[in-house]
Structures are given as C-alpha cells and as structure tokens.
Structure 1
Amino acid sequence: MKLYRFLTGPDDASFCHKVTAAMNKGWHLFGSPTYAYDAEAKIMKCGQAVVKDVDGQEYEAGVTKLSDW
C-alpha cells in the first residue's frame, strides 16, 4: 500500500523532530515544505508531506492508522 501524511506544527524544533522521526520510520519527503503565518496564534507554522510504501498490506480507510507506520 502507498501511504500519505501531511505533518504540521509550529516553526520550532518540535516540527523538525516530528519530520525526522517520520523519516526514521521509513517515510520519505514528498514535495516542498510549506510555511505560513497563523494570525490567530500569532506564530509561523510549517507543513511537510511525507509518503511511504508498505509491501504486503492493504489500505483500509477508517481502519489504517497512518501514525502506526
């Protein structure tokens, strides 16, 4: 199965650790990161899409928990 996640977080080390943890679990960066100002929270936020291929498994919407992979 092919999996897709979009990771988001504040522009700080916690976001970098989130992306690093995903890559260390076999996820790969997909496309360019995003960066936007959250006017309500008055902070910059980051986003990064990641993808992963998992052999021998089938994707089931509502059942497959992406963060488990």
Structure 2
Amino acid sequence: MKLYRFLTGADDSAFCHKVSLALSKGWELHGSPTYAFNATTGEMQCGQAVTKTVHGKEYDPSMKLGEQ
C-alpha cells in the first residue's frame, strides 16, 4: 500500500526536523514544498507532501501514519 502525509508547520528549524525525521523513516518527498503567509499568526508556514510504500499491510483509516 502507498501512504500519503502532508507535513505542515511554521517556517523554522522544527519544520525541517519534522521532514528530516520522516525521510529517515523511509518516507519520500512528493512534489514541491509550499510556502504561505498565515495572516492569523503573522508567520510564514511551510508544507511538504511525503509518501511511503508499506508492504504486507492493508490500509486502515484508524492507522497512525507517522508510526508507519
């Protein structure tokens, strides 16, 4: 099965660490990152889609994608 996640966060080192952690767990970048201004918080926000192929499991909507 192929899984999809969209990681988001403020434009800071914590976001980069979040993406780096996903990559270290076998997730792969999918498409280009996004960058937008959040008028509510006054901060720039980042987003990055990642995908991962997991063999031997069936998709279940209750699964925690970050633990795969």
TM-score, with structure 1 as normaliser: 0.96
The equivalent of 1:64 in structure 2 is 63
Equivalents in 1 of 2:30, 2:47: separation in Å?
11
The equivalent of 1:34 in structure 2 is 34
In the alignment of these two chains, the number of paired residues is 68
The equivalent of 2:5 in structure 1 is 5
Equivalents in 2 of 1:65, 1:40: separation in Å?
28
Superposition pairs of residues 11-26 of structure 1, within 5 angstroms: 11-26=11-26
SS of 2:58's partner is coil
RMSD: 0.5
Give the drift of 1:47: 0.0
TM-score, with structure 2 as normaliser: 0.97
SS of 1:14's partner is helix
Equivalents in 2 of 1:43, 1:68: separation in Å?
28
Give the drift of 1:65: 1.1
Instruction: Indicate the percent of aligned positions where both proteins have the same amino acid.
Output: 60
Unaligned stretches of 5+ residues in structure 2? none
Equivalents in 1 of 2:14, 2:64: separation in Å?
22
Equivalents in 2 of 1:12, 1:65: separation in Å?
24
